Amino acid sequence: MLSIFFIDGVAMLPGRLKTARLRANFTQEKLGVLAGIEEATARSRISQYESGIHRPTFEMMCAFAKVLNVPECYFYTVDDNFAEAVLDLYVRWESKS
């Protein structure tokens, strides 16, 4: 079962999902649809994931990572500074590919 850690009062996984979505300049609906969620429920499901009401599966988080162009581990790294370092490394790695 997926655990949600809290950092400075913000749930880690939901907070990182929202941060990554906003960085990509996606609406909740667009992210959901691109990740394979039906259009009719995409916005509400992403909203529920970002608010921590429901927990997405690891497979769904992998789909979000692919759409948002972030490494999967970004969502699960506890330390915010380390998560940002992972994201920076990933961006540099992708630019070399």
Residue ranges per domain, the chain? 9-96
Q: CATH says 9-96 is which class? A: mainly alpha
pLDDT band with cut points at 50, 70 and 90 for residue 11: low
The pLDDT of 20-38, averaged and rounded, is: 98
Residue 7 confidence (pLDDT) above 90: no
pLDDT given for residue 94 in this prediction: 86
Interval 67-87: pLDDT, tens: 999 999 999 988 889 999 999
Separation of alpha carbons 29 and 83, rounded Å: 25
Residue 5 confidence (pLDDT) above 70: no
Residue 10 confidence (pLDDT) above 50: no
Q: 56 or 11: whose pLDDT is higher?
A: 56
pTM, 2 dp: 0.85
